[in-house]
Amino acid sequence: MDKYVYTLRLKVRDYECDLQGIVNNANYQHYTEHTRHEFLLAHGISFADLHARGIDCVVARIAMQFKVPLRSGDEFDSCLWLKKDGVKYVFMQDIFRASDHKLCLRAQVDTVCLINGRLSDCDELNTAFAPFFR
C-alpha cells in the first residue's frame, strides 16, 4: 500500500446500486473522479476554480478492471498514485473494500490539461504534483 499518495474513505449509497443489487459500473468512474478532485483540493487546487480560469483537466483515456462488486452498505478506500508521461497526468486508482481489503477496481486514468481550449502543459499542476510523481 506504500505507493498510494492519497486515500479517500467512501461508502456505497443505495441509489448507486442497480437492479443486479451491485454498484452500477458507471459509479466507479464517479468514485475515481471524486477521489482525484479531493486529492487536488487537499493540495489547494479546485477543479471548479481551474475551469473558471480557463484551465480544464479532461480525461483522455480510462482503463478499468472490475474485480469484486461493491454492494449496499459497503465502505471502501479509494486510493491513487500518479506519474507524468509527456503532457499526460496518469492516475493509477485502486478501490479496496474496507471490510476485507479486497481489490474491487483497478483503474488507470490518463488526463490532460486544456488551457483556453488548447492542449497544454500546466505549470500550476506540475508544481502541485511534483512531490507525488513516481
Annotated catalytic residues are: 18
What's the 3-state SS for the chain? Answer: CCCCCEEEEEECCHHHECCCCEECHHHHHHHHHHHHHHHHHHCCCCHHHHHHCCEEEEEEEEEEEECCCCECCCEEEEEEEEEEECCEEEEEEEEEECCCCCEEEEEEEEEEEEECCEEECCHHHHHHHHHHEC
Site for a copy of itself in 14-43 (CB under 8 A): 14-15, 17-21, 24-27, 29-30, 33-34, 37, 41
CB 65 → a copy of itself: shortest distance, Å? 5
Closer of 18 and 121 to a copy of itself (Cβ): 18
Does residue 63 belong to the site contacting a copy of itself (CB under 8 A)?
A: yes
- In the complex, which residues of this chain contact a copy of itself (CB under 8 A)? 13-15, 17-21, 24-27, 29-30, 33-34, 37, 41, 46-48, 51, 56, 58-66, 69, 71-73
